[in-house]
Chains A and B, each alone.
Chain A
C-alpha cells in the first residue's frame, strides 16, 4: 500500500478531530476528538517510521500514547469535577474568563 494512503487517512482523522473540537459543545466529546487528533498523528509517525525503516517514529508513538494516557487521567478528573460543580458539560456555559 502506498504511503500516501496512510497519510490521507491520518489527515482525514486529524481534520475530523479538529472540526469536532471546534464545533462540538460537550466537553466529553471534545475530549474524544482531541484523542482522535493525537492518534492521527500517531498513525502518521508509525507509517513514516515504517517507510524509512527506522525506530525513531515508533518510539515517539509510544511517548505520545503514554502522555495521552496521563492527559486522559487529568482531563477526565477535571471533567468529572466540572460536572459536579456546574451540573453541565456545556463548554459555552461557564464564561468566567469573559472580559
Chain B
C-alpha cells in the first residue's frame, strides 16, 4: 500500500512544459468551438430553407468538432505538455490583459472528448427523439450553441475566458430547459436554473476580482499564471478565501449544497438535454474548475475539508431523496446530484484524478441512463411515473439491455465503469484521512445501488402495470394517444449501444488499477498533490471489498423490496412508509425552505428596498426638480415682454453698480 501511495504522491509526478504552438492538431484547436458556433448560426439562418435537413448541419458540426478533438487529444497523448494556442487579445486595459488563447492539456483533452463525444451522440439521438416537434430545427441550433459554450469554457486559458463559456452555458441551458416554454412549469424551471446559477456567478466574479488583485493576471499559466505561481504567491488564508469563492461558483454549476435545487427541476427540458447538459457536461463544469485550479485548493487544508464535506452531504442527501421519487427522470436527476457529490468528495480529498475519472465514467453511464429514460418516455407517450410502467423489458430489448449495463455501472458492480471510479474515489478519500466523507460515501454507495435498482426493477422488470392500447393524455399537451410501447428508432438506439459499451468497459480500459492506471498517470501532471495524513489501517483490497459489499447490499435489498414482493398496487407497495417517507418524498422540504427564506422573505426585503428607492431616493431627485420648477414659475414674472421695463431695469442696475463703485472709491 505504501508503495502505491509513493507512486501517487512522490516527487516522481511529472510536470508539464508550457508550449506555445500554432502548428499541429493543437494549431487548429480553434475549430473545436467554432464548428458548433457556425452550425448554430447556419441552422438558425437556414432552418426555413432546409427544414428537417437542418438537423444534419448541426450533427455535422458536432461530429466535426469531435474529430478535431480526437486529433488534439492524440497530440496531447503522444507529446504531453500544456499547449497554448495564441489567437488574439480580447481585452487590454492597463495591467489587465486578457487573451482568447486556447489552452490544451491533458485535462482539457479529456473534457473535450467527453463533451464533443457525448454531445455528438446526443445530437444523433435527438434526430429520432425530437422528430415531429414544431421547433425541431431550433432544438438542434440550441444544442450546437450549448456545445460551443461548453467548449469555450473548457478551452479558456484564463479565468475570464472560462467565465465567458460558463455564462454562455448558463444561457443555453436556460434555452434548452425551457424549450417547451408553452408549459408554465418548464418556463419556471428554466428561470429557476438560470437564477440559481446567477448566485454562483456572482461568487465566481468576486473570485476573479480577488485573483486579479493578488496575481495581477487572470491567466492560468505563464510567468505570473494562477496555476503556475499559486504555491509561491498565495498564503493559506488567501487560498481559503479564493477557494471558497470559486467553490460558490462551482457549487451552483455542479449542483452542490446549497445550490443544487435547480437540477431536479431542470428535468423539465427535453430528455436529450438532460443527458447532455444535466448529466454529462455542464454540471461537470464546477468539477473542472476546481480541478483546473487544484494547485490553489491544495494550499488550504480547511478548504479541502469543506469541499469534501459539502460533496459528502450532497451525495447523501440527494441519494436519500432519490429513494422516494416516483418520476423516473427525477430519480436520475437526484442521482446526478449525488454522483456530482462524489466528484466533490474526490476533489476535497485531493483526489483530483479520481474526480475527473468519475466525471468521465459518469458521463457515460448517466448519459446512457437519461437517453434510455428518454427512449422509454418516447415509447410511453411521455409518461414518467415508474409505478405505471414495469415489464418494459419485453417490448424494448435494446433499451433494456443498455439500461442493464448502465444500472450495473452506476450501482458500482465490477467490472463496469462506475465501480472503478467510485471505488477509487472512496479509496483516496480514506487514504487521505477523510474518514467522515468516506463513510458517508460508502453508505451512499449502498443507497445508490438501492434506488437505481428500484428504478431498474420497477421500469423494466416485473409485471406490466399498463395495458397495451390504453388511452393516455400526453403530459405535453399533444392530445390523447393510444399506448403502444415499441422499441425506439435506430437513431436513438445506436447512441444507447455506444454509451453502453463505454459504460461497460470504460473503467476497465481507462484506469483498472488505481495509481498506475493509464488515465491516472495521464492526468497526473496537471493536477496538484497536497499533503495529507495518510491512513493505512484498511488496505486497498479491503476498501474495494467494502464498496462491492455496499453495492451488492443495495441491490439485494431492492430485490427483496421491489422484485420479490407484489408491487401491483403501485405506490402503496412502497416499503418505507410514515414520516421518513414523507420527508423524502417532499425532498426534506428544502424547496419550501428556500421558498420561505429567499422568495418570500427576500421578496419582502426587495419590496421594502423598492419602496425606499421609489419614495426616498426618487423623492429627493423629484424634489429638486419640483424645486427648480417652482423657482422658475416665480422668477419668470420678471419677463414682462415690455421693452421699456427691461430698459428701466437696465438703468436701475447700472445706477446701482455705479453707486456701489462710487461708494468704494469715496
B648 touches A99 (CB 8 A): no
Beta-carbon nearest neighbor of A18 in chain B: B651
Interface residues of A in 42-99 (CB under 8 A from B): 91-92, 95-99
B647 and A21 contacting across the interface, CB-CB below 8 Å: yes
Q: Does B48 contact A (CB under 8 A)?
A: no
User: Do A97 and B641 touch across chains, with their CB atoms under 8 A apart?
Assistant: yes
Bound: A22/B641 CA distance, A: 15
Q: Is the CB of B648 within 8 A of A98?
A: no
The interface residues of chain B lying within 8 Å CB-to-CB of A95 are 640-642
15 A-B pairs in the complex with CB atoms less than 8 angstroms apart: A18-B651, A21-B647, A22-B647, A22-B648, A91-B644, A92-B644, A95-B640, A95-B642, A96-B641, A97-B639, A97-B641, A98-B639, A99-B636, A99-B637, A99-B639
Chain A proximity of B306: nearest CB distance (Å) = 71
B569 interfacial contact with A, CB 8 Å: no
What residues on B are CB-neighbors of A23 within 8 Å?
A: 644
Flag whether B3 is at the interface (Cβ < 8 A).
no
Main secondary structure of the interface of B (DSSP, over half): helix
- Across the interface, do A99 and B651 meet the contact criterion of CB distance under 8 Å? no
B643 at the interface (CB under 8 A from A): yes
Contacts of A21 on B, CB cut-off 8 Å? 644, 647
Interface string of B627-663 (1 = CB under 8 A from A): 0000000001101111110011001000000000000
Residue of B nearest to A94 (CB): B641
Interface of A: prevailing SS: loop
Leading 7 A-B pairs by shortest Cβ distance: A98-B641, A95-B641, A99-B636, A99-B639, A97-B641, A91-B643, A22-B648
Shortest B26–chain A CB gap in Å is 76
Minimum Cβ distance to chain B for residue A13 (Å): 16
**A22 and B644: CB pair below 8 A?**
yes
Complex Cα distance A25/B642, Å?
Answer: 10
Say whether A99 contacts B647, CB under 8 Å: no
Closest to B632 in A: A99
Interface size class of B (residues with CB under 8 A): 10 to 19
Residue numbers in A under 8 Å from B639 (CB-CB): 97-99
For A25, the chain B residues whose CB sits under 8 A away are 644
Tell me how far the C-beta of B649 lies from the nearest C-beta in chain A, rounded to whole angstroms: 11
Interchain nearest-CB distance for B87 vs A (Å): 65
Residue on B nearest A34 in the bound complex, by CB:
B647
For the A-B complex with A18-B651, A21-B644, A95-B641 known, give 18 more contacts whose Cβ atoms are closer than 8 Å.
A21-B647, A22-B647, A22-B648, A23-B644, A25-B644, A91-B643, A92-B642, A92-B644, A95-B640, A95-B642, A98-B639, A98-B640, A98-B641, A99-B636, A99-B637, A99-B639, A99-B640, A99-B641
Q: Using Cβ atoms and an 8 Å threshold, which residues of chain B touch A18?
A: 651
**Separation of A95 and B644 alpha carbons in the complex (Å):** 11
CA distance A29 to B641 in the complex (A): 19
A22 to B647 Cα, complex, angstroms:
7
CA distance A25 to B643 in the complex (A): 9
For the complex, give the distance between the alpha carbons of A28 and B472 in Å.
100
Closest chain B CB from A86 CB (angstroms): 13
Closest beta carbon of chain A to B232's beta carbon, Å? 74
Interface residues of B in 417-465 (CB under 8 A from A): none
| Most chain B beta-carbon contacts within 10 A, residue among A21, A22, A96, A99 | A99
Tell me which residues across on chain A come within 8 A of B637, comparing CB atoms: 99
- State how many angstroms separate the Cβ of B657 from the closest Cβ of chain A: 16
Bound Cα distance from A18 to B642, whole angstroms? 17
Residue-wise interface mask of A (15-31) relative to B, using a CB-CB cutoff of 8 A (1 in contact, 0 not) = 00010011101000000
Q: How far is the CA of A28 from the CA of B639 in the complex (A)?
A: 24
Nearest chain A CB to B586 CB, angstrom units: 71
For B648, the closest partner residue in chain A by CB is A22
Q: How far is the CA of A13 from the CA of B643 in the complex (A)?
A: 22
In whole angstroms, what is the CA distance A95 to B642 when docked? Answer: 6
Taking CB atoms and an 8 Å cut-off, the chain B residues in 596-643 that contact chain A are: 636-637, 639-643
Measured CA separation A73–B641 after assembly (Å)? 25
Closest CB-CB distance, A40 to chain B, in whole Å? 15
> Closest CB of chain B to A35's CB: distance in Å?
15
Cα–Cα, bound, A22→B645 (Å): 8
A-facing residues in B238-254 (Cβ within 8 Å)? none
Query: 1/0 per residue B211-240: CB within 8 Å of A?
Result: 000000000000000000000000000000
Nearest-CB distance from B641 to chain A (Å)?
A: 3
Nearest opposing residue in chain A for B636, CB measure: A99
Tell me the smallest distance from the CB of B635 to a CB of chain A, in Å.
Answer: 9
A92 contacts across to B, CB distance below 8 A: 642-644
The chain B residue with its CB closest to the CB of A97 is: B641
Residues of A within 8 A of B647 (CB): 21-22
Neighbouring B residues of A99 by C-beta, 8 Å: 636-637, 639-641
What is the CA–CA distance of A92 and B646 in the complex, to the nearest angstrom?
12
Q: Which residue of B lies closest to A27 (CB)?
A: B643
Docked CA distance A3–B627 (Å):
56
**What is the CA–CA distance of A31 and B491 in the complex, to the nearest angstrom?**
99
Question: Which residues of A are found within 8 Å of B641, using beta-carbon distances?
Answer: 95-99
| Residues in B whose Cβ lies below 8 Å from that of A97 | 639, 641
Residues of B within 8 A of A98 (CB): 639-641
When the two chains form their complex, are residues A22 and B651 in contact, meaning their CB atoms are under 8 A apart? yes
Bound complex: CA A98 to CA B646 (Å): 11
